[in-house]
Amino acid sequence: MTLEMFKALGAGLATMGFIGAGIGLGTIFGNYFQAVSRNPASQDKFQTWLFVGFALTEALGIFALLIAFMIMFVI
């Protein structure tokens, strides 16, 4: 077992942070579709904030990606 192997292993494990981001994005879009199918008139009102929520949730997954990049290329 060399350091390179542990680095690859650690980077792979760090990407597991995307599990949480995936669950969060599923919740956001699922609830958006539910809200719009109950009240189609609300589509325009929610659409902008849907993408804001999407971006903020995805940010947490991106932190995990950042850790993976740091393990692979910085340390």
Partner 1 sequence: MADKTESGSAFDLLGQFDIAPIKAVKDTPFEFLTNSALFMILTVAVIALLMLVFTANARVVPGRTQTLSEIIYDFGFGLVSDILGKHGRPFLPFVMSIFLFVFVANIWGMMPYSFTVMSHVSLTAFMAIVIFSMVIFIGVRRHGLKWFSLFAPSGVPFWLLPFMIFIEVLSFFVRPLTHSLRLFANMTAGHIVLKVIGTFASFTLIGGIALLPALIALSALEFLVAYLQAYIFALLAAVYLADAVELHH
Start-to-end Cα distance in the chain: 17
CA-angle at 55, arms to 71 and 38, nearest 5° = 140
Candidates 52, 73, 74, 75: give the one binding partner 1 (CB under 8 A).
52
Residue of the chain from 8, 16, 55, 70 that contacts partner 1 (CB under 8 A): 55
What is the spatial distance between Cα 50 and Cα 32, in angstroms, rounded to a whole number?
7
**Minimum CB separation from partner 1 for residue 56, in Å?**
8
What residue ranges bind partner 1 (CB under 8 A)?
Answer: 48, 51-52, 54-55, 58-59, 62-63, 65-66
